[in-house]
Amino acid sequence: MTRNATMTSHAKERVVPTLLQWRFWVVVGAVGMVFLGLAFRAAYIQVIAPDNLIARSDSTTIRTKETPFYRGLITDRNGEELAVSVPVRAIYADPKVVHRDDGLADNRRWQALAEVLGQKVDELKAKVADPTRRFVYLQRQVSPAMADYVEQLDIPGIYLRNESRRYYPTGEVTAQLIGFTDVDDKGLEGIEKLYNNWLTGTPAKRKIRKDAKGRQVEIITEEEGEAPHNLQLTIDQRVQALAYRELKKAVHYYKATSASAVVADVNTGEILAMVNAPSFNPNNRQGVSAHRIRNRALTDAFEPGSSVKPLAVLSALEFGSVKPDSIIDTSPGWMRLGGSLVQDHANMGKIDLADIIKHSSNMGTSKLALSVPKQFLIDTYYDVGLMSDTGTNLIGESSGLFHEQNRWSDFELATLSFGYHISVTAMQLTRLYTIIGSGGIKRPLHIIHSDTKSEGERVLSEENTRAVLHMMESVLEDGGSGKKARVPGYRVAGKTGTSRKAVAGGYGEEYVNIFAGLAPASDPQLAVVVLINEPHGDLYYAGDTAAPVFGKVMAGTLQLLNVPPDDRKVSSLASNSGDSHAN
């Protein structure tokens, strides 16, 4: 074999490479699947289920803006402001921006921020520690001066926003009546809570679309809001302040647990003043206990004692078992009814109806109550509203406490006639006296000012009511229990009430003192009820505690409202004095 032949036999056969190998097909297949998947996904998003993507897009581009309103004003009958909204600022943070712009780097600025807000630096920084959060309040309702200082600190991610804060110019004088709002301007107590929707209104809303740079590109929808409404009360702030001042002094002087007073217009049922002591400052409620917030003139029921004795006399007159000039024998000053004792402090013998009221005779009112059918007596108490609310519709108003029962003993009816076995509020007692003052017409008491006058409902005859009204004037005469309630220049009709507070198993040693009355007696315009709860000094009878407060409140109110005097004795003295000066 030749050399060439040998070399030829050992040479490898040349193979032409294949254009498409298996790796190529794998890559092509993978790319094809990707494009197919993308096409399917695009078809699914755009044709089959586009709502999810639209919603996600809208969440980043669509915003709803509200145009806030300031809360409406609350004013008294003369336009005096009792509650107003003042502009303040809120300090908030965007933790994401704080971390993104290294806002925590300058510790001095954070120290200054903490000092002005009265917080600890560590607690303040902890609020912005989560970089995924977009909003957190640092402090609400800060003053404009504080807000300006925070703005000058120029901390990245710390911002300000406008809001309003409720301010009460009259402070503690109207605190329990007006109530207050929370940090979001929502009413929590009193008038603020009851009329929250009226005072708040509905904010205007605008739904807009923004582009990637935050610019408004489209207004999608617009909703007109309802502006908040102002609220005018029947309260006369001058009378309110007068009553509160006298009540506050009385609580301190008599070392009482609390006190309440109500002043009402006899002819309209308008509440001119409703006060309680002790009170609180609604502009700074830190540390205020719940019992100070409660409007006790509405919520707290008590046994009225002798202050309802005129009603027992009226019941007998209405039924016809006695006449205005009838004489009642109260001898020997005591009697037993079913084994229980009813007695006076002394044997008054035979006395007329006026003396029964003047000397507050338990024997006299008991005999009058027993002279009428049981149901007639109880219906009279119902008719004058002592077992129902007064019509104010205020939050927390109590309808009193009355144990209705099928069988009444003579002793229970007797105790009912002199103010036991029933509990009423100061407001309910006020309405009773407005009925007496208006000649037997019952009108709902109201706190919201209105030009419409209620016609009312006749529940007692005018003749008998006027007769009892004049009998009640004797309470303020010499020898009467309420002479310290006198008002110079005016005839006043009223009644004291001193009752022991009920405890488990009977009655304790704590007292409730009441004086309720009307003036001027010749043509009653005002009804005033004063309650002193648990006096702890040496004086614990209503004639010594509640009566003097009544006299000062009634005298001041009559003068403020320019009610002309009706006491002829004072008028004649003034006339004689003028003649002597002329001579």
Contacts of 370 (CB under 8 A, 6+ apart): 410, 413, 414
Question: In Å, how far are 94, 277, 311 from 130, measured between CA atoms?
Answer: 10, 48, 70
306 is catalytic: yes
Residue 81, both tokens: 């402001």
| Largest Cα–Cα separation, the chain | 181
Distance CA(483)–CA(512), nearest Å, equals 19
- Closest among 569, 372, 377, 384 to 486, alpha carbons compared: 569
> Helices marked H in 44-138 — which ranges?
51-61, 95-100, 107-117, 121-127
Count CB-CB contacts under 10 A for residue 152. Answer: 9
Q: What is the DSSP letter of 333?
A: S
β-sheet bridge partners, residue 341: 336
Other beta carbons within 10 Å of 149: 14
| Residue pair 458/441 in contact by the 8 Å Cβ criterion | yes
Query: 346 is written with which tokens?
Result: 């002394």
Distance in angstroms (rounded) separating the CA atoms of residues 171 and 143: 19
Give the separation between CA 580 and CA 187, rounded to whole angstroms: 61
Pair of tokens at residue 297: 């003139």
Task: Reduce the DSSP state of residue 162 to 3 states and report it.
Answer: strand
From residue 529, how far is each of 172, 295, 409, 555 by CA, in Å? 20, 15, 31, 13
Residues present in the chain in total: 583
Q: Which of 277, 311, 324, 299 lies closest to 533, judged by CA?
A: 277
Of the residues 279, 306, 417, 474, only one is catalytic, namely 306
Rounded alpha-carbon distances, angstroms, from residue 342 to 177, 313, 338? 40, 17, 10
Catalytically annotated residues: 306
